[in-house]
Structure 1
């Protein structure tokens, strides 16, 4: 499948919140959940006067293109609300624990990522404790620039990713998907067709490797990027339900029909020099750079890749995309796509919930959403916003109400014991330290032990 037809069919209808860098998932407060939003306007929908300081968490560090983009939005928001002063606080990567500590100390930033887990009936501990504001009252009001309410402006397939029961607790910033990107020039030069099956993918890798080019690049320093290869093979071979049960300790991974075959396919994929030399010590930015420098022909990555690396992509570089190939004989989902939404929440104990709610509505403005798509290549979560080239089918899918399989299987939101049990054997296989059968045994035993 090429960049103009990313999906073969709708993805599986299982929804979770995706955090690009890390998920924040715990609270010790036992209070009851908030039932109403306290900001953004009165019951009639009339806007409240917005004043005071507003602190917004950014996943992007100061100096990065995305931080500069957010800085521009902050200046525009301040111009729109003369009495507001916006501060952007980095809250990604190594700074995630600091943001969580501030939530625990009842001094949270006003607008945050995480603090919402829609895979749990109560939305997770922060929602259950009332620390994450219920946005449903605001969602039922008209949203400027759209026909209908704020809730109706959000793509139907995205709404489950931000909802707990009948209430919405997060506002989507964008949609992300995980698929292969490939160097069109290398494929054309070597006469390679876009792989449709896993066997096609292995054959393409053999041809590319014979030409002296690494078929794939990946970072060896961030385990989820290696994990997603296994996730996709498991999804294709035996499906989402069995994998989720195994991660929860409710089933033995190694005993699931198709699990052995998935492990063998992963071993075949990582064996014999298919990945760029030295990837074990390469961070994700360097891995992405090696793709755009032509050192590797393919990279399995999120839809944020083009926008994230825009400044480093050669002007004549032609990028194609294709969904993770199907598996002949697999009993799992052959069309499912991993993805989710980057959503922001309002801290109920923040200093300025009115301004925070207004900020989320400002991000949703059609002009700002269109500018986001055009400047980053990202996918909007809102209706009527044109998709970037190559991702039109994603928007169509979400308009029809289909949702994603949970990116990284939601493992980032689970305990460190579960993360280690699931991810470390995969990394060991990639590093050539164990074979596929050993990886599967270690994962299965580790997950059972983590479940107690």
Structure 2
């Protein structure tokens, strides 16, 4: 009995071993399959401040199409409002970097590239044949001889004007600074506000300083000033303030401009109370479509005939953080986003222009703005993008004060110079 029991147990033991072995093999195959699936699947994480309804929808669609073309890839997009993003990006680039991060270009970009927080994308442009179509925007994404971001869209700036008011006052779009001042005088005499503006949002006033400096002193001097290499008490900067003082002291600007946000000043243009607004295409997108035909556009006029007409082209872009986990996949996504149809859809959804000169949107305004960009002898971006962020904040407050109290120009420039000497030491 003992022998039969032993043999029975031994047979059962063998069967159990075979079952255990089979189970182990099945588990191993399943685990291997799981590892294989994990190896094939990747999550591309994108952080972006382009969270307006239009661009959010466009980016979601582009991401979905990218997933469809890359089986096993999941795109996770973290949308944030612009102001929150300005704070959070300083942290997440260091602590939890995504694979792709949208950001401003110029000095804002270099704040991070000097800390080696963005990948060098120089080779990417030649690989994707983007050097020529993105040529006007490459300076904005460059740090020295390295390209650190891919431009996605740009904004041009100039004067938006009420065509009917110009016609009634017998005014043509000005070509020179003298023409602009003469037009403003006629418009004011007709009981109109020549220039509407809202400076409660400090940045809206930057354009007057930037354009006058570019048109009077040229791009090289302007950028040296932005880089802290020229003085705010230099006679050339004082000349800019002297030019600017003419329309201010003659009452050509909207009174109490600091009480208005930039958008709040736009309706005065369509209501026939104000004639011009030095701003970007947001003027049109902030007005009902049926009013668009009533609004015209002309570039900032020539100030010094000896100085070429440099333009302001504000460029937004996208970067791959140095700490990204999926850099190769991120490059694939940037290449996908750069495709003409995708970059056009993304720009159009945000009421901006695609950062490719070979891509046109289906409206005449876009075509004229691309031509403006192509014709520019050179370009800066915008005061708060071209200079140090702290300097920008101090400078913008000074510009706001000047518009309200032009007699304080000397004190304002002294204050800006003290800030420059401290910040750029």
Scaled by the length of structure 2, the TM-score of the pair is: 0.77
Give the whole-Å Cα distance in 1 for the aligned partners of 2:194 and 2:373: 31
Name the structure 1 match of 2:24: none
In structure 2, the CA distance between the partners of 1:391 and 1:437, relative to structure 1 (3 Å rule), is farther
1:267 aligns with 2:256: no
Size of the aligned set, in residue pairs, is 385
Is contact 1:115–1:124 with CA below 8 Å preserved after alignment?
A: no
Is contact 1:57–1:91 with CA below 8 Å preserved after alignment?
A: no
1:71 aligns with 2:46: no
Gaps of 5+ in 2: 1-38
Q: CA deviation at 1:391?
A: 5.0
Is contact 1:132–1:345 with CA below 8 Å preserved after alignment?
A: yes
Name the structure 2 match of 1:224: 203
The partner residue of 2:353 within 379, 385, 398 is 379
In structure 2, the CA distance between the partners of 1:78 and 1:161, relative to structure 1 (3 Å rule), is same
Name the structure 2 match of 1:174: 153
Name the structure 2 match of 1:366: 340
Name the structure 2 match of 1:318: 294
In structure 2, the CA distance between the partners of 1:115 and 1:398, relative to structure 1 (3 Å rule), is closer
Name the structure 1 match of 2:177: 198
The partner residue of 1:127 within 103, 110, 113 is 113
Give the whole-Å Cα distance in 2 for the aligned partners of 1:85 and 1:246: 41
Name the structure 2 match of 1:341: 315
Superposition pairs of residues 95-174 of structure 1, within 5 angstroms: 95-105=85-95, 107-114=96-103, 117=106, 124=110, 126-141=112-127, 149-152=128-131, 154-174=133-153
Give the whole-Å Cα distance in 1 for the aligned partners of 2:373 and 2:299: 16
Name the structure 1 match of 2:8: none
Give the whole-Å Cα distance in 2 for the aligned partners of 1:112 and 1:162: 14
In structure 2, the CA distance between the partners of 1:75 and 1:186, relative to structure 1 (3 Å rule), is farther
In structure 2, the CA distance between the partners of 1:114 and 1:431, relative to structure 1 (3 Å rule), is same
**What SS does the corresponding residue of 2:265 show, helix, strand or coil?**
helix
Q: CA deviation at 1:377?
A: 5.3
1:280 aligns with 2:258: yes
Q: CA deviation at 1:116?
A: 6.1
The partner residue of 1:429 within 397, 402, 419 is 402
**What SS does the corresponding residue of 1:356 show, helix, strand or coil?**
helix
Superposition pairs of residues 35-46 of structure 1, within 5 angstroms: none
Is contact 1:179–1:302 with CA below 8 Å preserved after alignment?
A: yes
Superposition pairs of residues 20-99 of structure 1, within 5 angstroms: 51-61=41-51, 64-82=53-71, 83-90=73-80, 92-99=82-89
In structure 2, the CA distance between the partners of 1:290 and 1:69, relative to structure 1 (3 Å rule), is farther
1:187 aligns with 2:173: no
Is contact 1:209–1:215 with CA below 8 Å preserved after alignment?
A: yes
Larger Rg: 2
Give the whole-Å Cα distance in 2 for the aligned partners of 1:274 and 1:372: 37
Give the whole-Å Cα distance in 2 for the aligned partners of 1:299 and 1:277: 14
Give the whole-Å Cα distance in 2 for the aligned partners of 1:171 and 1:377: 19
Deviation digits for residues 282-317 of structure 1 (CA, Å, limit 9, x no counterpart): 2223233443444422111134543x436x444464
Is contact 1:50–1:81 with CA below 8 Å preserved after alignment?
A: no
Q: CA deviation at 1:366?
A: 1.6
**What SS does the corresponding residue of 1:193 show, helix, strand or coil?**
coil
Give the whole-Å Cα distance in 2 for the aligned partners of 1:210 and 1:69: 46
Give the whole-Å Cα distance in 1 for the aligned partners of 2:221 and 2:145: 27
Q: CA deviation at 1:365?
A: 1.5
Q: CA deviation at 1:421?
A: 4.1
Give the whole-Å Cα distance in 2 for the aligned partners of 1:397 and 1:277: 31
Is contact 1:173–1:364 with CA below 8 Å preserved after alignment?
A: yes
Tell me: higher relative CO, structure 1 or 2? Use CA pairs within 8 A at least 6 residues apart.
1
Give the whole-Å Cα distance in 1 for the aligned partners of 2:293 and 2:81: 32
In structure 2, the CA distance between the partners of 1:216 and 1:57, relative to structure 1 (3 Å rule), is farther
The partner residue of 1:242 within 198, 201, 221 is 221
Deviates more, 1:183-192 or 1:431-440: 431-440
Is contact 2:152–2:347 with CA below 8 Å preserved after alignment?
A: no
**What SS does the corresponding residue of 1:326 show, helix, strand or coil?**
coil
Deviation digits for residues 360-417 of structure 1 (CA, Å, limit 9, x no counterpart): 2222112223435655553322253126524546545766895412422744x5152x
Is contact 1:292–1:313 with CA below 8 Å preserved after alignment?
A: no
